[in-house]
Amino acid sequence: MALQVLATVGGGGTRLYPLTLSQPKPLVEICDTAIIAVLFRLLAVQGGRRFTLGSKGADNTLELSNYFKAGEGFFKRLGINDPDGFCYQPQYDDKGSADSLRYCMNYFDIKDDIVVVSGDNLIDIDLKKFMNFHHQHEPVLTVAVKEMKADESLSQYGVADIDDDFCIKRFVEKPKTGTEPSRMINTAFYLFSPQIREILQEMGDAARDIGGDLIPYLTEHGYKVYGYPIKGYWIDIGTPEKLHQAAMDVLAGRVKHFAFSHEYKPHQWIHPSTLSKIQGDLDSGEIKLKGNISIGRNCRIERGTIIENSHIGHTSMIERNVEIRNSMVMSFSKIKRGVIMNGAIVGRHSTIGTNCILDAHQPHANGKIPVIGEDLVLPAESTVLPGTRVAPLKYSHMVLATGKFAELGVDDRNIYFTEKAR
């Protein structure tokens, strides 16, 4: 089942600032693996052989191209010997996901069914069943839809107006509570029939966004659109809180297709190059591990450290008497002695100074988490409150130019900011 895949990866990722200030959102890591690589692995082992990345701008395109290149290494690691490779959108300033789809289908002369995915989602889906459903009903588009629980807000999603045969009449975007036509939401995981190429040409410049323009056009002009209900895991990683949730879910085994290597104990994985350095301290109890743990390669962890329900990225250094709970510490980080972390994210190549506190559960917790960006030094004795984000000072103009964040203060190295209330 050879399969064409297009990933829409053109967004700026501002809601994930500061983690996306120097890298595209799809390359932000979950347990040492880029978000988009987790998604692509799922698709490749189920038949995906040609991956096109609908990126735009030098920052996105060059970073993604450097990560995947032509795909040889990606497919080789999965034991796939018949790949068709990776392609990248040329220099074309698309107006959105539908415009990117139109341009890439024309540029690469794609005439087959095509799976279109958002590059910042995690999903568990059986592609064979998904495609069989599509071919059975023969629509122009099949959308993977997810039924949300009764206590979950739908106000940030496109909600399907769908009949008993799973035919979609329309999507209602971000409905107010009580006005939702169903509990089925758009997961931004699509399967288009080849006819979509002609329809996109027919739409012309009106084809900008898939959810906002293309799907309404299809439903309003009588083209068949179906919803395929998925039962497995799905999350849209749009905010630090969603990224943190995804990492905790991966560690807890809720993401079925994410497989760790080098099991140390049940629900605990430690790379051998790290385990060989800390085995004695683990045995003596000088280093304590609790709950779901993932620790990457070539880490140094000193005595007195407690790690609970957390991921430690590769080549990180953790000094004495550190407590890390419910947190993500990304690769090349340095956590100095006496640090306490609970429900926090630390970006790559950053240093957390002596006796700092990063705690999402401090008084006045607001459901948000502390987020430390990449390649920065947090001064000793700092306390980072829930919802506070920290980035190197050189990025202050990028942060504030979005209009989405309020500055909390600066020091000689960093800017401290938070998301504005909506």
Under the banding of pLDDT at 50, 70 and 90, the label for residue 367 is confident
* Residue 362 DSSP SS3: coil
Q: What is the DSSP string of 204-221?
A: GGG---IIIIIHHHHHHT
Per-residue pLDDT tens over the stretch 152-181:
888 888 999 999 999 999 999 888 888 889
Cβ atoms of 147 and 257 closer than 8 Å: no
Residue 168 contacts residue 161 (beta carbons within 8 Å): yes
Structure confidence at residue 355 (pLDDT): 98
Q: Are 99 and 207 in contact (CB under 8 A)?
A: yes
* Alpha-carbon span 296 to 316, nearest angstrom: 8
* Measured distance CA(194)–CA(206) in Å, rounded: 19
Q: What pTM was estimated for this model as a whole?
A: 0.94
Does residue 16 have a pLDDT over 90?
Answer: yes
Q: Is the pLDDT of residue 362 over 90?
A: no
Neighbouring residues of 90: CB distance < 8 A, sequence distance ≥ 6: 107
**Residue 361: what pLDDT?**
84
The DSSP result for 399-415, as a single string, is HHHTSSEEEEEE-SSEE
Q: Is the pLDDT of residue 364 over 80?
A: no
Q: What is the pLDDT of residue 180?
A: 86
Q: List the single range of 97-106, 317-326, 327-336, 360-369 with lowest mean pLDDT.
A: 360-369
Distances (CA, A) of 239 to 86, 338, 357, 371, 419: 27, 28, 22, 11, 10
Q: Collapsing DSSP states into helix, strand and coil, what is residue 128?
A: helix
280-316: string of b/e by CB count within 10 Å (b at 16+)?
ebbeeeebebeebbbbbbebebbebbebbbbbbbbbb
Joined together, the tokens standing for residue 338 give 């006496």
Q: Is the separation of the CB atoms in 115 and 191 below 8 Å?
A: yes
Within 10 angstroms of residue 349's Cβ, the number of other Cβ atoms is 18
Q: What is the pLDDT of residue 178?
A: 83
pLDDT of residue 363: 66
Q: What is the pLDDT of residue 365?
A: 65
pLDDT tens for residues 251-294?
999 999 898 999 999 999 999 999 999 999 999 999 999 999 99
Q: What's the mean pLDDT in 396-410?
A: 97
Say what the pLDDT of residue 84 is. 87
**What would you report as the CA-atom Rg of the chain, rounded to the nearest whole angstrom?**
22
pLDDT tens column, 285-339:
999 999 999 999 999 999 999 999 999 999 999 999 999 999 999 999 999 999 9
- Give the rounded percent of residues in the chain with a pLDDT score beyond 90: 87
Q: For residue 77, is pLDDT > 70?
A: yes
- Can you name the residues that pair with 32 across neighbouring β-strands? none
What is the rounded average pLDDT for all residues in the chain?
A: 94
Q: ∠ CA 12-16-20 to the nearest 5 degrees? A: 60
